[in-house]
Chain A
């Protein structure tokens, strides 16, 4: 099979299990983002794919070949570190040529490839500059070019954009995605920024506590989160308790939502409703009724916080559809079954 496969990968540091039985298949040419809070094991997983850490158990396969114990320098990969790890004693060109020099390529070939890569990252003519003289974004690009100079089988990035300011980061996300699509290279990025993951990935892998909670396309992760952790971690959501009622329907906070059913056999569960799917109506017209406790007007969007029997629900609307609400006012909340996701416990 072409691509990367992780089979029951386990990593233990002493008694602590950093990565627990991870199974993941990454088809060739896919852009994967591993997303999770700090300490969830995503960086450890990436380091095991790179060979910088050895798995305690399990296997890693690349294009069908078992590479679990292959030393890092024989894996033919490119990796961008969080600190970038550009070599301070080498110039931009020498940094990019380093993997070629190590592999004993001819000087002319090195120079040709460096020029190609510098053109690709829009830094033509920078070959002779010391890396210390570059800006943050330029250094970022040099690190990317250096990792790509041998056209590796795998392109790994560990929080590559976290050191950049917000604007530059967003621009680099788009640039990185376009570059990956142009080269068709299998890419794995570790990030804790869900916006970054949504922008770039074909597949988002959400991790927590050393386990994969869900691996799917960004839009599916957002629309159909597998569990309450994923629903809460990706974007903003309202998590509500839901109970089966005697008539076979389901009730949220004591109010029956017409058309909503729980999975067979379940008597209660958790419901995830995205704030933009919560519509405010006149009191009594919706399924639920509550009191507005706070309105946050951000210009582009308006967040309305509604208190229903002690539970807080956030509704997001745009100024155009803005219902005129003020703090303390009674409002109705419309819930339709198609926007409600019943989560596994």
Chain B
């Protein structure tokens, strides 16, 4: 179906409400934040309007650069883990009966109702020495003695993948349901084993969906600041943690704003690069 483009200014009327909401609740606060990022900090938690680059200059140090790099690396790793796990899972799920699908989707949705705090504490218990999963391994005779798996990078990664996994499945699900099942059958009749058919037909046919999902999970993971603190060591803290720290505990609003703006810019840059790379791949 082709949609008619709007003809008169009146046709744009339905857009007024969302546009107003977006302006009030997104553009204005974001603009304020950009403005604050150039303000001059006063000792004692206040700031005065100014136009200085001090906050950005301070950010360009090895320490903050390292934290930014770690945050991006963590978010990318989470995104890749989620898609690698969720793609085969969702593919299998779409081939199951309606009943099984509903049960799984309800279970996944219920994970979304858990708060980040609960997820964090649940995993820190599971990874603990006294009550953790290593005790099961000891009981089974696989391990000699129970040990704590947290705080560690692995624990942070596990917690964040667990949190983002339901989103990944829910984003992939519609695309995989729409995928014509005869495509895989055709691949099999043409000589591809089920595994080969998955990698030569399902994955390439869903390339755009996979890219979009990677970007979504990446951005989702970038904002995480509770799980790294609950499950990781200080070196596993993300930029979001530092921003919170500066804004709330150090009362340095201008510096926190500068870091947030910088994070947004880097994120947008990475997403743009991904999209451009995707376009190039399509043209080739």
A residues engaging B (CB < 8 A)?
A: 50-52, 71-73, 75-79, 81-83, 85, 87-90, 98-99, 101-103, 146-147, 150, 156
Q: Which residues of B contact A52 (CB under 8 A)?
A: 185, 188-189
Question: Of B185, B191, B205, B207, which one neighbours A99 at CB under 8 angstroms?
Answer: B191
| Contacts known (A85-B180, A89-B207); A50 close to B189, Cβ less than 8 A | yes
Q: A73 near B191 (CB under 8 angstroms)?
A: yes
Q: Which residues of B contact A156 (CB under 8 A)?
A: 189
Question: Of B188, B191, B194, B201, which one neighbours A87 at CB under 8 angstroms?
Answer: B201
CA distance A78 to B201 in the complex (A): 17
The smallest C-beta distance from B17 to any residue of chain A, in angstroms, reads 37
CA distance A145 to B31 in the complex (A): 59
Q: Is B111 located at the chain interface by the 8 A CB criterion?
A: no
Q: Which residues of A contact B196 (CB under 8 A)?
A: 73, 102
Q: B185 near A150 (CB under 8 angstroms)?
A: no
Per the 8 Å Cβ criterion, residues 169-201 of B in contact with A are 180, 182-183, 185-194, 196-197, 200-201
Q: Which residues of A contact B194 (CB under 8 A)?
A: 73
| Contacts known (A83-B180, A85-B180, A85-B182); A77 close to B189, Cβ less than 8 A | yes
Q: Is B66 located at the chain interface by the 8 A CB criterion?
A: no
Q: B191 near A150 (CB under 8 angstroms)?
A: yes
Q: Is B278 located at the chain interface by the 8 A CB criterion?
A: no
Q: A85 near B186 (CB under 8 angstroms)?
A: yes
Q: B192 near A83 (CB under 8 angstroms)?
A: no
Q: Which residues of A contact B183 (CB under 8 A)?
A: 85, 87
Q: Give the nearest-CB partner of A50 in chain B.
A: B189
Q: Which 7 A-B pairs have the closest CB atoms?
A: A85-B186, A79-B189, A85-B182, A99-B190, A72-B188, A89-B204, A102-B191
CA distance A81 to B190 in the complex (A): 12
Q: Which residues of B contact A87 (CB under 8 A)?
A: 183, 186-187, 201, 204-205
Q: A78 near B189 (CB under 8 angstroms)?
A: yes
Q: B205 near A102 (CB under 8 angstroms)?
A: no
How many B residues face the partner with a CB closer than 8 A? 20
Question: Of B180, B188, B201, B205, which one neighbours A73 at CB under 8 angstroms?
Answer: B188
| Contacts known (A85-B180, A89-B204, A102-B196); A76 close to B191, Cβ less than 8 A | yes
Q: List 14 A-B contacts (CB under 8 A).
A: A50-B189, A52-B189, A73-B197, A78-B190, A82-B182, A85-B185, A87-B201, A87-B204, A89-B205, A89-B207, A99-B190, A102-B192, A150-B190, A150-B191
CA distance A57 to B170 in the complex (A): 40
Q: Which residues of A contact B190 (CB under 8 A)?
A: 73, 78-79, 98-99, 102, 146-147, 150
Q: Which residues of B contact A76 (CB under 8 A)?
A: 191
Most chain A Cβ neighbours within 10 Å, of B183, B205, B207: B183
CA distance A78 to B191 in the complex (A): 9
Per the 8 Å Cβ criterion, residues 182-237 of B in contact with A are 182-183, 185-194, 196-197, 200-201, 204-205, 207
Q: Give the nearest-CB partner of A154 in chain B.
A: B189
Q: Which residues of B contact A77 (CB under 8 A)?
A: 189
B residues engaging A (CB < 8 A)?
A: 180, 182-183, 185-194, 196-197, 200-201, 204-205, 207
Q: A73 near B192 (CB under 8 angstroms)?
A: yes
Q: A81 near B188 (CB under 8 angstroms)?
A: no
The smallest C-beta distance from B197 to any residue of chain A, in angstroms, reads 8
The smallest C-beta distance from B206 to any residue of chain A, in angstroms, reads 9
CA distance A150 to B190 in the complex (A): 9
CA distance A78 to B192 in the complex (A): 12
The smallest C-beta distance from A257 to any residue of chain B, in angstroms, reads 52
CA distance A75 to B194 in the complex (A): 14
CA distance A82 to B182 in the complex (A): 9
Q: Which residues of A contact B201 (CB under 8 A)?
A: 87
The smallest C-beta distance from A187 to any residue of chain B, in angstroms, reads 14
Q: B193 near A73 (CB under 8 angstroms)?
A: yes
CA distance A90 to B186 in the complex (A): 14
Q: Which residues of B contact A150 (CB under 8 A)?
A: 190-191
Q: Which residues of A contact B193 (CB under 8 A)?
A: 71, 73
CA distance A156 to B186 in the complex (A): 11
CA distance A85 to B202 in the complex (A): 12
CA distance A77 to B186 in the complex (A): 11
Given contacts A50-B189, A75-B189, list 4 more A-B pairs with CB under 8 A: A51-B189, A98-B192, A102-B200, A150-B191
Q: Give the nearest-CB partner of B190 in chain A.
A: A99
The smallest C-beta distance from A53 to any residue of chain B, in angstroms, reads 10
Q: Which residues of A contact B207 (CB under 8 A)?
A: 89
The smallest C-beta distance from B281 to any residue of chain A, in angstroms, reads 11
CA distance A122 to B119 in the complex (A): 61
CA distance A89 to B179 in the complex (A): 12
